[in-house]
Homo-oligomer: A and B are copies of this chain.
Amino acid sequence: MGAARRQKVTLSIGEVARRTGVNTSALRFYEDKALIGSIRTAGNQRCYTRDVIRRVSFILAAKRVGLSLEEIRAVLADLPAGRTPTRADWHDLATRWKPWLDERIAALERIRDQLSSCIGCGCLSLDQCALYNPDDVAGRLGAGPRYLMGDTCGHVTRTPTGEPP
């Protein structure tokens, strides 16, 4: 018999839970939402191929940067159905995903910087502060705190024409 003790091909739900740190109930929930898939044993128990670990890791990472499960499902839906994703499949997925991630991080940095200058400065004058009086400056741009959404904060703007400092 040439089949010596090799790496196990499939995993039970408990094994996947232990290796990913995700509760079994959450794994069933993810399957319900079509984020992961499984086959069944003769006794109707879930049976996972090893690539599910990578899928779950991806799900956790995506959650951490603020994607909803539905969004993650859509991203993962691009992986080929019917076969284990290859290295190239994952690479393609990551390539499509990275710009979105970069953009989100840039938005966070923008928020931080705006807060640093608008709140952190203490504001030269409360009467002139756009954060304190949004209707004075940002209010004309529409609802919401626009200075936190890409526009510049009135009283700290040094390049009114939009050029870099």
Contacts and interface: CB of A to CB of B under 8 A. Distances in A.
Contacts of A101: 111-112, 115
Q: What is the predominant secondary structure among interface residues of chain A facing chain B?
A: helix
Contacts of A134: 19-20, 53, 57
What's the number of copies of this chain in the assembled complex?
2
Interface in A11-31: 18-21
Contacts of A53: 132-134
Interface of A: 18-21, 50-51, 53-54, 57-58, 60-61, 64-66, 86-88, 90-91, 93-95, 97-98, 101-102, 104-105, 107-109, 111-112, 114-116, 119-123, 126, 131-135, 139, 142-145, 148
